[in-house]
Structure 1
Amino acid sequence: MMPKLQTLLLSLLFVFSLSQSTFAQTADSKSGVISEYDRIREIAPREKLYVHFDKSVYTPQDTIWFKGYLVNASFHAYSQISGLIYTEMINWNGEVVQTLSLPTVLGLTWGAFPLKEDKYPPGNYTFRAYTNWMQNFGDTYLFKKEIKILAIDANQKPAVTKSKVIAEKTSSSNDAKRNKQEVDIQFLPEGGSWVADFPQKMAFKALDKSAKGIEVSGEILDSKQNKVTEFKSNFLGMGYFTLSPLLNETYTAKVKLGNELIYKNLPKAIAAGTVISLRDNNASDSLSIALSSTLVDQKLILLGQSKGLLCFVANINANTKGKTIKVSKDIFPTGVSQILLMNDKKEVLNERNFFLNHNDQLKVSISSKSLEYTLRDSIPIHIKVSDYLGKPVSGSFSMAVTDDNQVSKDSLNDENILSYLLMTSDLKGQIEKPGYYFHQQNEQTKSDLDALMLTQGWVSYNWDVNKKLTFNADKEYTISGKITNVMSKPSANAKVILLGKNKGGMILDTLTNQNGEFVFDQLPPIDSASFVIQAKNAKGKAGTLGITVNEFVRPPIITAKKKNNVENNEVFDSVGVAQIIAKNQVYEAALKGGILLREVKITGKKTIKDSKNLNGAGKASQILTEEDLTPIYKKTLLEVLQEKIKGFREGNRKGNGIRDFFVNGDQVKFIFDGIDLDFFYQPPSFPSNNDYYLYVKSYIDYYNAEDIRGIEILSNGYSFRYRNEYMSPMDPKMYAFIEVTTKTGTGPFLKKAANMYLLKPINYGSDRVFYSPKYTSVNRNDKFLDYRSTIYWNPTILTNTNGEADVSFFSADKKGNYTVWIEGTDTEGGLGVSVLKLSIK
């Protein structure tokens, strides 16, 4: 266990024992609260997930690179609950475009989403990541990040705009043009209650129509229009003032916004209630908690908590007024904490967020031999990491190096692993410029952070101990379910066969237990489009068995549909950048030793919805769409192929006389909804030359045109990907593939067999690795232009026992500045981030 965790746990034990003597109250209420917190943490422990990206704005054909850090929510050590992380891309219509399930080791995982144009047209997307266990606690715990894909036309120059950072600093000149209704101002009393005759902080938050903070100032007026006090927000539209309200008095805020005045009524003060105020003096090692209650003869409970940890608890006498309690800051961990005041029914009367920073994060240092390099130069980076006491740390880190000409990164304000895990993930709603609160610790930052805590709701770790947890923690990817007989009774000792197509094919089998349950685990990485599960009873007969499979349940997408308006508002400083970005795809292919084939130009390209075409939408030798099939909807698939597909015929294979289907001279392989029809073929014990032909014919005779959404013929240059996916590399024959997209999308099933189940698993992703070119004397002067926007991405940097690691990469062909951004963890709760700027001359 890390020293700081030991210190915290000792502090917690200390405060529990100290509170007995300090507050000299009965232990019943306190022990009940302590037991409840312990029980919740035991039954429903929480996880947090942070994801580091190479950037947040991409172009078509780009790749999203990311690394996930899965931690225990309380101490930020790596999570031992889940071993599988789900990542997905959601488009502006709220539709899931792609999902990957990624296994984790010590809470770490990484992956990539290649942005194929047919799947990812330019627009606004949401990246979402979570574990199955997180679904028990609602949408709040899921990691989300907004992703933009820009439209880049190689024949047009992009809009050249200033960066957001510069634009926001100069936006005050437009304030006078704002409509009054476009600004929302909220006033929030400290602790939640505004009780008459008690001095309290009143926090406020001003937002424009896009929910961004806007700077305001003004006065508080009473009912006689007398000025009571003044207020002024910070640059994020937040602030607070202190006021002792009078009962039955009406207070109005006169808000100045540019040349406009906005009037907003403050909440009405109440006659009776409870007041809680928190004061944090930098010079003191304690927090001062002032509380008062006008609730007659009601005993109260005061407690401090942080991320599901109970830090202190005390009983408060009835009729308490003007009581001040001091608690040590050391009993709270770094991050967001709460002071709660509850009645004897454990109903929360007041709550107060606050943030403490003990400066106990990892110290990450990144350096290079120089801060200036030339084009296509080798750039070495040295990394050194220590804990807050200066002791070297072994840890796992991810590094992104991006070109400032093409990627706008605000190292002072953008989200990072510190701001997310220590602050953002414990607060509700959107947090603007989260990195700002961690960059510099001074009085202004402290005041701004307190304003944020006063105006932002917190994520509750409470849990009803009697409530059932619906979602299990996935330790690994498994396929499980239940087999039942015709009477819906569990079928014990039934044989369950799992058929899947991956490299070399996969066939697994198992037996059900006495409850009819089966599990397939320790599965290899999955690249299958689907599995078929078959069940046979203890006698090996199919009978009338039924199969229920525990399929993955995706969290509901509750984000409202967004307008798909994407502005090219990245920082481009030259006219030709967009053109070169587009042409750079050719450059990267050449660097990797790839063969550039002549592009097949498709005029009036046809596409088929939900097609599993491995080449992408519309990339086929021949295409029949639903529109083509509608006039002949009663004809069989075989008749459609014979009449509409050029070169389709029946015939005998050369040399053996086996009957088969062909497109011109190429033997045909049928693929239904991405599933190989041959996968289900089992030759009879006494084969004949027509067995396979009759097997295929039974399918293409069964389907009518009205069952089909589209047909694609993949021959010649379009068959390469299909050969790699479905055929043995040792097979020398040429094949034509026919991809049939059915309206049901269930694959080649003539009817739903009771003892068969089609399962489409979530892909594990791939072993895709970021390609970083290496320049030598041989290729340093080649003619290809290298204008990478992500210069380097490495998610697997490990520091040694001395806390050190070394990496290197080559600069590209554009002069300017690079941002080197590294962040990570020691997997025991230590978090760190660092940024370095390099100049390319």
Structure 2
Amino acid sequence: MKHLALLLFLSLVTVFCFGQLDELNQRILNWNSINTDRPREKLFIHYDKPFYRINDTIWLKGYLLTANENLGSDSSRIAYIEIINAQDEVIKRVSTPCYGGNFYSNITLSQDDFKQGNYLLRAYTKWMRNFGDALFFESRFKIIDPSSGEWAIAFKEFQFQNNRLSLSANLKNRENQTLSNKRVNIRLRSNKKDLFQTRMTTDYSGNLFIDTLLTNVPEKKDLVFQIFDKGNLLVQAPVKSNDKQYVDLQFLPEGGTFIAGKEQKLGFKALNVYGKGTEVKGVIKNSKGQEVTSFASAFKGMGVVSFTPELNQLYTAFLENGSMFSLPSPQPSGTLLRVTDDGDSLAIKVDASPDLAGKRFFIVASMRGLIHARGSLRPPYELKIAKKVFSSGVVHITLYDETAKPVNERSVFVWHNDALKLNLSSHKPAYGIKDSVQLALKVTDVNNGYIPGHFSMAVIDTSQVSVAENMENLLSYMLLSSDLKGTIEEPYYYIKNSRSAATDALMLTQGWVSYNWDNSSWAYQHETAFAVTGKVSNIFNKPFKNSSVTLFGKEGWRDAFFLDTVTNDEGVFTFANFPEFTKDSVSLVIRALNKKGKAFNVGIDLEPPTYPLYSSEKIAFSGDNILFDTIAKQYINTRTKMVEQMKAEGNFLQEVVVTAKARIPGSKNLNENGGSDETITEKMLDKTPKETLLDVLKAKVTGFRLGTPPKSFQWCYLINSNVVRFIIDGVDLHFFYQPTAATFNDYLLFLDSYLKYFSAEDIKGIEIMNRPQYNSAYKASYLTPAERMNSSPVTVDFSFVEITTKTGQGPFLKKTPGMYLYKPLAPVFGKQFYSPRYSLPEEKTIFPDLRSTVYWNPEIITNEKGEANVSFYTSESKGGYVIVLQGVGFNGGMGVLSMPLNVMGEIKK
């Protein structure tokens, strides 16, 4: 067997490369050049806790690093953050300035925008969009609504077999009381598609019963059963179909090929019906029923097994519970790539079936897009590469054949234990409630050198929020998770156990992110500043060059600013040098004039920003048996007990939840207190400002459609089965055009002209009146006697859509030539976290101080000696605290720390 040292391995590159392999070698060099000159970016978000209540605020700090070296990136100056619900809808999107590779922001989870359920936090820069969404940051969290109460269900019978859904269950609240006569929505979903949906009412004992046969079911994959009420997801569980295995077990041969007659490692991964790793144990047998070897998972259902497969033998894994799973079939021809962690080096073995022995292959070892070793060889071959050649992270090793086709791939995790050392000391061993805490931070590297850098800290009340020991952090994400595909459970475990069988299994079973990119044209450039670009032209689309363009802007209700510029020869203008924004309610009015200083025949077009779509094929829930697990229950119950205790000890104003319907300012709503069945607010309309009013109605109004009402053949706009009448600023559009049977199509064109004329940015709000309690006043005011006589749910009923415009001028609005109203997604600086200060622990407060996030600081800067000081006050909770600290050095290096803070609950005098 041949052995090859690293230096010789590298020196042989030019000797053996020829033909297509020579082209491959040149392409590899190009990859190196591109990833060095224009590196990708990686982004990690540290947010304060894993779940939130409705109306809480997410406090977050972003770390933006170059992917090739994990150094702070100053190329992109704007980052985008999105919150996406379980239906893949972007509920909130914000942008924030980014300087020196870091940014901070905060997002309020208002009850107008968010409901109880699972959500995804996603973040990226415009530059990252050149490479797809592989390196977009994604992290899941929960929002709970303690006021919803209902969150548990007892299943008596629950199955889906042969397209028949059977359910017998009992619904209870968190106090274990049955919910009698409770009206709930029930839904069965597959891959986020609704297979079945209905609305039911529990009986006197809180029972629900379903026995139905579904038709046209395309697939039965990842079936999810849900109960929800008023938009809040209350209960969620997978459907355990009788024809589906409870465990999914897959075996993946090392390097991707399973060659007969060669000893090989296989990584395996076992998932339960929730998509989570589950521990397994069993044996592998051949076609003759003979036991070949045994196996057992090492961590989260993953493990490694080795044996020599024989040709014409099929292998099956048998679990202890009797489940059977087939292994890949051994192949008579192919190559084998085996990598072993040999302490200070990676031992690589390349072997092949007899028919391929002696043929030339090319091997490449890369990390984050940079090639660290490459060369040509003939199997069988063994070589070692010193691990010091690589920095800490995931190494990708690829074997190419003579046609430059990849035939084997393998990933290995290298960890030099070189994280920054974060030392945090408190000025006393224990603290009481409302007590002053002073912490001293000192950061050093592995050689005890001082590290100046920037860090973020969250202090969490562990009596309310549980923080997982091995949760994702800056170190595990940048070095591990971001370079692997799929979800990794408890990723920090693999950093702490870098040479374990579990880590080797992870590398064998998880695919990796490719950095190969040789496209010289970039669709997206680094976004260095917020800018607004547009074009001024006439009605014939001829550009106005040297045209004067002015911009008047307002941030919120105050803080006006003014900018001006002129168009170039193509009629294009750009506004930059905007002030720093601290509010996300930025409005711009852009005005252009022709050479005569007039707005006549002048049009303004802005290129609207585009954002990446989100579509996930992952399971639609987090994996809990019910949506709100014991941790969330503990949070709710603990908070309730603390409030009750505070009430017993002193008077304070109880928290009030406002449930009144949204009012539209300036609305001509005829109902007392502005009652309506459905309300679309200006805040909701601001998310799609350029959509037409018609598109808004189709997207946001439940049941809005074009159809025929009962006992009629005339097409019209309907809400469910009700005929729609449109009221704009109190003016009935039907008044201007009362159709006959012969002119009904003209009437639809008349309506469409108005509904498409207005855009969402012209509208202040929309109210929909469907039921008699809300539409009766409108019938009395707007319907003719004949229409009122025939108006009933049995014949035809009416829904009224009250549209309130920003001008209040009704359907007579004329858009102003040469003017453009624009509400951009402006980058906003995050607010400062409010941390109360107490003069005495006995100080009384109106509200009890029960912060679950006791302290948040995204801007801890260490000096040239690696030192910084932090201070805050404890809350009134008598539980323990955990401190989560992480950050990067200005010149590189990352560090994380999680440690308890002792809070005894006694008042210190």
TM-score range, shorter chain: 0.7 to 0.9
Q: Residue in 2 aligned with 1:660? A: none
Tell whether the 8 Å contact from 1:397 to 1:822 is kept in structure 2 after alignment: yes
Aligned to 1:498: 551
Deviations 1:449-490 (A, max 9, x none): 111000000000012425x32222211111113334444344
1:346-745 map, 5 Å: 346-411=404-469, 413-440=470-497, 446-465=500-519, 468-502=521-555, 503-526=558-581, 527-559=584-616, 562=620, 566-570=627-631, 577-579=638-640, 606=676, 609-612=679-682, 633=725, 637=729, 710=802
Partner of 2:235: none
* CA distance, structure 1, for counterparts of residue 375 and residue 175 of structure 2: 60
Contact 2:464 2:635 in 1 (8 A): no
Question: 1: distance between equivalents of 2:487 and 2:635?
Answer: 33
Structure 1 residues 563 and 331 mapped into 2: Cα distance closer, same or farther (>3 Å)?
closer
String of CA shifts for 1:573-615, please: whole Å, max 9, x gaps.
59853437889999xxx99xx999998967996475431269x
What are the Cα deviations for residues 760-782 of structure 1, in whole angstroms up to 9, with x where unaligned? 21143455221111111386344
Work out whether residues 66 and 112 of structure 1, in 8 Å CA contact, stay in contact via their aligned partners in 2: yes
Deviation at 1:365, TM superposition (A): 1.2
Residue 180 (structure 1) shift: 6.1
Distance 2:812 2:579 in 1: 26
RMSD: 4.1
CA contact (8 A) 2:338 2:350 kept: yes
| 1:110-149 mapped onto 2 (5 Å cutoff) | 110-149=104-143
TM-score where L is the length of structure 2: 0.70
1:452–1:809: structure 2 CA closer, same or farther, 3 Å change rule?
A: same
Task: Identify the residue that residue 834 of structure 2 maps to in structure 1.
Answer: 771
- 1:288 partner amino acid: I
Question: In structure 1, the residue corresponding to 2:455 is in which secondary structure?
Answer: strand
Q: 2:46 & 2:843 partners in 1: Cα distance?
A: 31
Structure 2, unaligned stretches of length 5 or more? Answer: 152-172, 177-239, 662-672, 687-700, 705-718, 736-757, 765-797, 905-909
- Once residues 180 and 633 of structure 1 are traced to their aligned partners in structure 2, the CA distance between those partners, rounded to angstroms, is 51
Q: CA deviation at 1:290?
A: 3.5
Contact kept, 8 Å, 1:156 with 1:578, in 2: the verdict is no
Give the match for residue 243 of structure 1: 307
Aligned counterparts of 2:836 and 2:422: Cα–Cα separation in 1:
27
Distance 1:186 1:597 in 2: 52
1:638–1:451 distance in 2 versus 1, CA, 3 Å: closer
Structure-2 change in CA distance of 1:188 and 1:362 (3 Å)? same
In structure 1, C-alpha distance between the alignment counterparts of 2:513 and 2:98, rounded to whole Å: 25
Q: Secondary structure at the match of 1:261?
A: coil
- State the distance in 1 between where 2:356 and 2:326 align: 27
Check the 8 A contact 1:216/1:237 in 2, yes or no. Answer: yes
Q: 1:113 to 1:741 in 2, by over 3 A?
A: farther
Q: Deviations over 1:191-234 (max 9, x none)?
A: 00112212111111111111111111111111111111111111
Tell me if 1:825 matches 2:879.
Answer: no
Alpha-carbon shift at residue 81 of structure 1 (Å): 2.5
Aligned ranges for residues 29-68 of structure 1 at < 5 Å? 31-41=25-35, 45-68=39-62
Residue in 1 aligned with 2:262? 198
SS in 2 for 1:505: strand
State the alpha-carbon separation in 1 of the partners of residues 319 and 275 from structure 2.
Answer: 18
How far does residue 639 in structure 1 lie from its aligned partner after superposition? Answer: 5.1
Counterpart of 1:323 (choices 381, 396, 414) is 381
How many Å separate the matches in 1 of 2:828 and 2:595?
A: 37
Q: Distance in 2 between matches of 1:595 and 1:749?
A: 48
Structure 1 length-normalised TM: 0.76
Q: Percent identity?
A: 35
Equivalent residues of 1:364, 1:383 under 8 A apart: yes
Partners of 1:55 and 1:609 in 2: CA distance:
32
Q: Are the equivalent residues in 1 in contact too, given 2:30–2:518 (CA < 8 A)?
A: no
Amino acid at match of 2:294: E
Whether the aligned pair in 1 keeps the contact of 2:725 and 2:801 (CA below 8 Å) is no
C-alpha contact (below 8 Å) 1:406/1:572 kept by paired residues:
no
Are residue 279 (structure 1) and residue 337 (structure 2) matched?
no
1:754 CA displacement: 6.3
Q: 5+ unaligned residues in a row in structure 1: which ranges? A: 1-13, 162-175, 617-624, 644-670, 678-705, 713-737
Question: Following the alignment from structure 1 to structure 2, what is the Cα–Cα distance between the partners of residues 748 and 509?
Answer: 32
Is the CA contact (8 Å cut-off) linking 2:335 and 2:352 kept in structure 1? yes
CA gap of 1:585–1:91, structure 2 versus 1, over 3 A, is: farther
1:181 corresponds in structure 2 to 245
CA distance in 1, matches of 2:630, 2:812: 49
Moved more, 89-98 or 554-563: 554-563
Is contact 1:340-1:351 (8 Å) kept? yes
Q: Which residue of 1 aligns with 2:780?
A: none
One-letter identity of the residue aligned with 2:495: F
> What amino acid is the match of 1:472?
Q
Paired with 1:386 and 1:46, the residues of 2 have a C-alpha distance of: 28
Offset at 1:501? 2.1
User: Does the alignment pair 1:96 with 2:154?
Assistant: no
Distance 1:636 1:235, change over 3 A: closer
CA distance in 2, matches of 1:539, 1:264: 80
Tell me, yes or no, if the aligned pair for 1:30 and 1:315 is still in contact at 8 Å: no
Q: 1:266 aligns with which of 316, 327, 331?
A: 327
Q: Residue 582 and residue 33 in structure 1: after superposition, are their counterparts in 2 closer, same or farther (change >3 A)? A: farther
1-structure distance, mates of 2:677, 2:863: 52
1:246: Cα distance to partner?
Answer: 1.6
Secondary structure in 2 aligned to 1:475?
Answer: coil
Amino acid at match of 1:377: D
Using the alignment, how far apart are the partners of 2:243 and 2:463 within structure 1?
35
By how many angstroms is 1:124 displaced?
A: 1.6
Question: Relative contact order (alpha carbons < 8 A, sep ≥ 6): 1 or 2 greater?
Answer: 1
Q: Which residue of 2 aligns with 1:659?
A: none
Q: For structure 1, which segment, 267-276 or 89-98, has the greater mean C-alpha deviation from structure 2 after superposition?
A: 89-98
Task: Please say which of residues 262-271 and 31-40 is displaced more in the overlay.
Answer: 31-40
Residue 179 of structure 1: CA displacement?
Answer: 8.4
Once structures 1 and 2 are overlaid, which stretch shifts more, 468-477 or 205-214?
468-477
Give the one of 336, 341, 365 matched to 1:304. Answer: 365
SS of 1:38's equivalent in the other structure is helix
Structure (1/2) with the larger strand percentage? 2
Measured after TM superposition, the shift of residue 94 of structure 1 is 2.1
Instruction: Label 1:186 to 1:23 Cα distance change in 2 as closer, same or farther (>3 A).
Output: farther
Give the drift of 1:543: 4.6
- Report the CA distance between 1:353 and its aligned residue: 0.4
Which 10-residue stretch deviates more, 496-505 or 301-310? Answer: 496-505
Corresponding residue SS for 1:552: coil
Aligned to 2:16: 25
Shift of 1:539: 4.1
Do 1:608 and 1:710's aligned partners in 2 also have CA atoms closer than 8 Å?
no
Contact 2:883 2:900 in 1 (8 A): yes
* Range 798-807 or range 16-25, more displaced: 16-25
Distance 2:110 2:857 in 1: 22
